[in-house]
Structure 1
Amino acid sequence: MVAKKPDKGKSYGAGSLTVLDGLDAVRKRPGMYIGTTDSQGLMHCLWEIIDNAVDEALAGQCDHIKVILHRDGSIEVDDNGRGIPVDTEPRTGLTGVEVVLTKLHAGAKFGNSSYTAVGGLHGVGSSVVNALSSRLDVEVDRDGKTHRMRFHQGHPGTYQDPDPEHPSPDSPFKRTRKNRPTPLEVVGSVPKSRTGTRVRYWADPEIFNSTARFSYAQLIDRVRQTSFLVPGLKITVVDDRIPATGSAEQDLRLEVDGEPAAESSGQDDQGSLRESLGSGDLPEEDAGEEGAGDAQADDASLSATEQADRAMLQPEDESGHQRVEEFLHTGGVTDFVDFLSKGEPVSDIWRISGQDTYQEETQRVGSDGELHAEQVERVCGVDIALRWVNDYDSVVRSFVNVVETPGGGMHVDGFMNAMTRQVRKAVEANARRLKVNLKDSHTKVERDDVLAGLVAVVTVRIAEPQFQGQTKDVLGTAQVKPIVTRMTDDQFGQMISGSKRGFKEQSGQVLEKIVGEMHARVQARKTKEVTRRKNALESASMPSKLSDSMPGNDDIAELFIVEGDSALGTAKAARNSMFQALLPIRGKILNVQKASLSQMLTNKECASIIQVVGAGSGASFDIDQARYNKVIMMTDADVDGAHIRILLLTLFYRYMRPLIENGRVYAAVPPLHRIALAGKNKGKFIYTYSDDELEGKLADLQAKHIDYNPDVQRYKGLGEMDADQLADTTMDPRTRMLRRIRMEDAAQAAGIFPLLMGDDVPPRKQFIVDNADDFDRSKIDT
């Protein structure tokens, strides 16, 4: 029997359609407006409110913004701008406050009369945050009065807070009748000259998932970058969740929810901390069963909203941030580039700035309320700062109206295309001085060569920019690209060619660095063929002085860099050739901190080390291609040996840094003395590694009445050892001692290497003078 088909007309009709009014559509599909409902979306809501305040600053109407993180999980943004309009909007009959916070695509940024360059331009920012908040309170100072309106999940109404000083989203709420305007409450008076807006909201736990976490670090980064991009704007962050002094854990034990905590230790202290932060913030090993029970009891007394807000607005770390942090910069993008620069500068900070106009067709709201196509003239302001540092990493940050565009866009494309083109012209014009063979097709500057060590901030300000998506990751306004290109061609072209006064020496240094990066890239491509040991033929292509290990032991292979041929002869007899390779160097290698990249590549010793390690150099270094698991510097235990190790470390730090970062560079620790025991202990030896250790050991032997040969052997170099002695003390993994080279703080190392190894003598001399009194002989090799 065939089943009867359902009547299609009856199963799907107008009654099947759902119409979402107002902000309900936002709550139904929040991802369309804030991207995600995890931590990223949680932070995006805050950016929308902050961006509205920053837009007032861009319009010249605001010079102070305050962001307050309340202990109840709410966030407040306060600005001294013009304040949201409080009068009635004629078409809707609603106050400006209610229109801005309840109507999508409503605001003053569509007509281009009140704002010329803004970050929040879709007209959905404040209303979306309102829709996704369990509660939102707004206060506006205008016309000598403070006006207030409150919302629950996007709907206006009134709250009855038992304690007005501590408002809560769980307080009784009475919603305004549908299709009725909500009157603004006048809750105070202010001087007529004072204006501004205060928005406080509680993120809705019904919207954001359980993994959503507030990031204080992201907030500080965003606030700091905004202060750079809007010179003269002061931004204050007040974190009421963490007291002003000490660590978070120490201070929160002193005061919990406004009440002094009992002075106790152990489990009681842990319980107090949980009461303030939630049990999830304590390490597992510190959370005892009794304390966990207290936390559960405390959490049970909280409402679901309070528990969720507490989780979402929880600090990511317990590092004890200052309670109040203020940011104010006057140098604009120049200060920003200086802040982002890490390492020794190759050039000063260069600036490209100006403005131009372009034509754009847009939809305007006419007097009849209808949209009409209109050709308008836009103004594009460009402000770019850049410099090169002695590194191979690049940092390029881009912004449109202070909103970051991580994906770049038309402004970045215009800047990079013009800059690369001008660099190529300058290299061609100075080919002889830079030793570039223009006939060689491989010696062409690529964008990656220009980017190496570049630190740049690219900003444009335009009205109604076109972004790819609500999250504004990529600028899509095509007319911006030719404007940025022309300005970069003109202004940067004069700088890099040296025709602009004061730039000749700097441009020469920049071009040398870029050409050096080009040669390194070409060299890396050539040496990639010999990066892995696969057969005897490939091993034969290595430097002839390399005494390689047997293939097939890459996971344990060790490369010993040996000082001189004398030590090499002993080391060959002392090594285990199954996994230990030897590469001799002749004396002190090139100081690469002073030398250019091209000089380093043409230096025989440096080139041999890079080739033997087999992983490339600089930005192209690939640690997975390294032929050895350990690189061990085996130099004499004297001043010259220490100097050679510093030179080698400078080479590794500058051009093979991942080896140090991954703990694969070591210094051998050979002994200085050998004590030959006598009497019944004849044939046994004791090795010491410093003069102080020798004196102490001899005194200990005398006190224990152990005979020894008074003629103590002092090693002047590794070549004075026989093979057995070198193996036992320095090379055999079972008995040797190695010192691993660590780099706990790359930024600190970046400052120390130029100081100790650079060509600027006065700072190094001053360093020696300043630290002479603190000289500790035990910290150096003798």
Structure 2
Amino acid sequence: MSWGLDIVGVVQTGTNVAHAPRDYEAKNLLVLEGLEAVRKRPAMYIGSTDTRGLMHCLWEIIDNSVDEALAGYGESIEITLGADGSVLVVDHARGIPVDKEPRTGLSGVEVVYTKLHAGGKFGNSSYNATGGLHGVGASVVNALSSRLDVEVDRNGAVWAMSFRRGVPGVFDGEGPDAPFTPQSGLRKGKRVNKAVTGTRVQYWTDKQIFLADAELSISHLQDRARQTSFLVPGLRIDVTDARQGEGVTETFQHDGGITEFADYLAHDAPLTDVLRLQGQDTFTETVPMLDATGAMTATDVDRILDVDIAVRWGTGYDTAVKSFVNIIATPKGGTHVQGFERGLTRAFVKSLEGTRLLKSGEEIIKDDCHEGLTAVVTVRLAEPQFEGQTKEVLGTPPVQRLVARIVEAEMTEFLTSNKASVKAVARTLMEKVVGASRTRVQARAHRENQRRKTALESSTLPPKLKDCRTPDGERSELFIVEGDSALGTANVARNSEFQALLPIRGKILNVQRASVGDMLKNAECASIIQVIGAGSGRTFDLDASRYGKVIFMADADSDGAHIRCLLATLFFRYMRPLVEAGKVYSAVPPLHRFELIRPKRGYEKYVYTYTDAEYQRKVAEFTKKGQAFKEPQRYKGLGEMDAHQLADTTMSPRHRTLRRLTVDDGAEADRVFEMLMGNDVAPRKQFIVQGAYSLESDRIDA
């Protein structure tokens, strides 16, 4: 019946439209003038109206100042988040032009802040390589601000201008709510030394445009400032958050450039020093150019491409590649990253041909070269073509070919060098790449072997697995249980409809130190990956997981904690999507059991506590209320509980407590796992020594 009602509704609506007046003439067309289009469709220019869009506006203003530093003008930038909700960006560069622009008759400042697609970055006369190139950044921020004030030190004077939502005028007072009078033109202020130049921009974002919960992120701002200071060596950036109290200023300045940046990004022990792959080339591009009459004419323009790439290989297996065009991050890559990957792969393939490291039939692909790689890819060119105003992908086609050529030549020279010191490192690096290739082939064979097996072939799963009956993957649970002794009790305690058990013998392999091949050879690790059935590493398929929850169930002692840590390392390194999806848990078995004698009203006969602090509270509570109890039982392991107790406290969804493993910050989690489980002993020793001072001696399980 409901389908019939829906169809009738559609027919009725169609009938109404058929009889509607055809009122669609030229007078119905809406023409948005000036900055109205920006206010009408802000997401088209800044991506969104949430925090991301708010930060994009800030990047547009900061990048204008950084472009000046990139061109060789100005050595410092100050950024302040004000208590009144404003943002202040100050530079000491050339300052925005204040003379009249001949075509519009307006000052350079008014043109930059009120005209879309206007600025000094369309030709090669003012800038050779910039982050901004569409000429809409400053004007878009102005259009989306309830107030924007700009002051320019230039020609021996301070020139000022204010705007409300893109309209020039004068404010009578402080803040965005002050009385406003529309008025065009620059205001000339006090005199300054002619050698003093620079720009100060202060703006308040418009609450009519942005979402109520949108706010500037100081951490993102500091990350961007740090990143920029690496990309423009010598540039000092001061970031002050004065939104609460006086604020604290953090300064970012790195004279080492992208070499220092690559070291900062890397989290594993170095296999090579940071290598710089540098070069310059030219290409011809056909672009529309304004001629003397103001018409657009297709013109061939010679472009200069500067390539500067820092690469470093470590002993780990993860890859980190950051890419930039001029100073703009391109998180989704583009032609420069494609060229880098192609050139790098060609260099390794060519260099390995003359060695005996690669056996007949073996091949090297991009992923093999990227294992353990940290790279910062930067290119500089005039008027790069980006895909969209948010500039996340570089689209200039010739860049791919030129970057590939430069990278291949520079990397081949390193790999085939005859210098004794370089030759040894190059051979070690090539051995790592060949090892990655063989491990990839082994992993692929393992996956293909798994995929060939059907669900009916029960013999393909480890015989020690006690599987559940439900076919519902989301409802099912896999308990990874420490030891065969606990397995017997857990097998009786579980609900076999949806709870599966996989026992492991003692402590599994520490995969943070081992290679992928060693991990796959380890019986316990291989069994866990096989039982979950979703693969491992880059090819892990979350949808193929056989279980909706994976639960570590180990003893509540130091050995149990170590086993949980080793399991967490395995899942984080090779099945991270399962952790990120919130499907990995740790069971919380009790530490103590009270058996009450003639329990009073409100008490059960058996009471369990899960921490020493809870145990002390219960003892105090029972003593205060006069509740008698037998000598409490202290559980040293899961095997000391009978099936009923284990089910009631640890396995039954009605009563148990589970701790979910989450990844809020992947980079920080990588760092912690490397510190606790990696090859470098010194940081781990320091961590243990520092923790020893806060450890109570009676907590030691001895």
State TM-score, norm by structure 1.
Answer: 0.70
Question: What is the aligned counterpart of 2:179 among 152, 171, 182?
Answer: 171
Measure the CA separation in 2 of the matches of 1:368 and 1:693: 84
Partner residue, 1:288: none
The 8 Å contact of residues 388 and 510 in structure 1, kept in 2 or not, is answered as: no
TM-aligned CA distance change 1:649 to 1:345, over 3 Å:
farther
Aligned to 2:18: none
Q: How many residues align?
A: 664
Residues 476-485 or 96-105, more deviating:
96-105
Q: Percent identity?
A: 48
List per-residue Cα deviations over 1:60-81 (Å, max 9, x = no partner): 0111222344455443332111
Partners of 1:210 and 1:750 in 2: how far apart?
Answer: 34
Q: State which structure, 1 or 2, has the greater radius of gyration over its C-alpha atoms.
A: 1
Matched, 1:544 2:463: yes
- The aligned counterpart of 1:215 is 216
CA distance in 2, matches of 1:92, 1:694: 80
Equivalent residue, structure 2, for 1:198:
200
Shift of 1:402: 1.0
Q: 1:351 aligns with which of 276, 279, 286?
A: 276
What's 2:509 paired with?
590
SS at match of 2:161: strand
Residue 52 of structure 1 deviates from its aligned partner by: 2.0
Q: Give the stretch that moved more between structures: 484-493 or 104-113.
A: 104-113
1:38 and 2:39 aligned: no
Q: What residue is the counterpart of 2:149 in the other structure?
A: 137
Instruction: State the SS of the aligned residue for 2:200.
Output: strand
Is 1:226–2:228 an aligned residue pair?
yes
Residue 636 of structure 1: CA displacement?
Answer: 6.1
SS of 2:230's equivalent in the other structure is helix
Instruction: Answer whether contact 1:428 1:438 (CA < 8 A) is retained.
Output: no
Does residue 604 of the first structure (1) align with residue 604 of the second (2)?
no
Does 73-82 or 392-401 show the bigger shift?
392-401
Say whether residues 1:656 and 2:667 are aligned partners.
Answer: no
Matches within 5 A, 1:338-487: 338-341=263-266, 348-363=273-288, 374-387=299-312, 394-423=319-348, 439=361, 446-447=365-366, 454-487=373-406
Q: 1:626 to 1:101 in 2, by over 3 A?
A: closer
Q: 1:757 aligns with which of 637, 659, 677?
A: 677
CA separation in 2, counterparts of 1:174 and 1:642?
68
Q: Deviations over 1:370-419 (max 9, x none)?
A: 66655443221112234456777654332212123344222122112223
Q: Deviations over 1:705-745 (max 9, x none)?
A: 99989xx99999777x6965885788763899766464576
- What amino acid does structure 2 have at the position aligned with 1:474? V
Deviations 1:570-627 (A, max 9, x none): 6556655444444344444333222211111122222112111223222333444433
Contact preservation (8 Å) 1:498, 1:504: no
Residue of structure 2 aligned with 1:336, choices 238, 261, 276: 261
Q: Which ranges in structure 2 are unaligned for 5 or more consecutive residues?
A: 1-21, 598-604
- SS of alignment partner, residue 379 of structure 2: strand
Counterparts of 2:70 and 2:518 in 1: how far apart (Å)?
48
Q: Which amino acid aligns with 1:216?
A: S
Distance, in Å, in 2 between the alignment partners of 1:675 and 1:19 is 81
TM-score norm. by structure 2 comes to 0.77
User: Do the aligned partners of 1:524 and 1:620 also contact (CA within 8 Å) in 2?
Assistant: no
Change (3 A) 1:569 1:415: same
Q: CA deviation at 1:234?
A: 1.9
Q: Secondary structure at the match of 1:149?
A: strand
User: What aligned pairs does 1:100-139 form with structure 2 within 5 A after superposition?
Assistant: 100-139=112-151
Deviation at 1:196, TM superposition (A): 0.9
Structure 2 CA distance for aligned equivalents of residues 43 and 714 of structure 1: 54
Give the match for residue 92 of structure 2: 80
Equivalent position SS for 2:446: helix
Residue of structure 2 equivalent to 1:51: 63
* Pairwise CA RMSD: 4.9
Cα distance in 1 between the residues matched to 2:70 and 2:629: 85
Q: Which amino acid aligns with 2:439?
A: G
Structure 1, unmatched stretches of 5+, are 1-7, 177-181, 245-321, 678-683
2:73 maps to 1:61: yes
For residues 525-547 of structure 1, give each alpha carbon's deviation from its aligned partner in whole angstroms, at most 9, with x where no partner exists: 442455xxx85x33222122333
Classify the secondary structure of the residue corresponding to 1:488: helix
1:497–1:689 distance in 2 versus 1, CA, 3 Å? farther
Cα offsets for 1:551-588 (capped at 9, x unmatched): 44755544444555555556556655444444344444
- The question of whether the paired residues in 2 share the 8 Å contact of 1:562 and 1:633 is answered with yes
**What SS does the aligned partner of 1:484 have?**
helix
The residue correspondences of 1:203-282 to structure 2 (distance < 5 A) are 203=205, 208=209, 213-217=214-218, 218-244=220-246
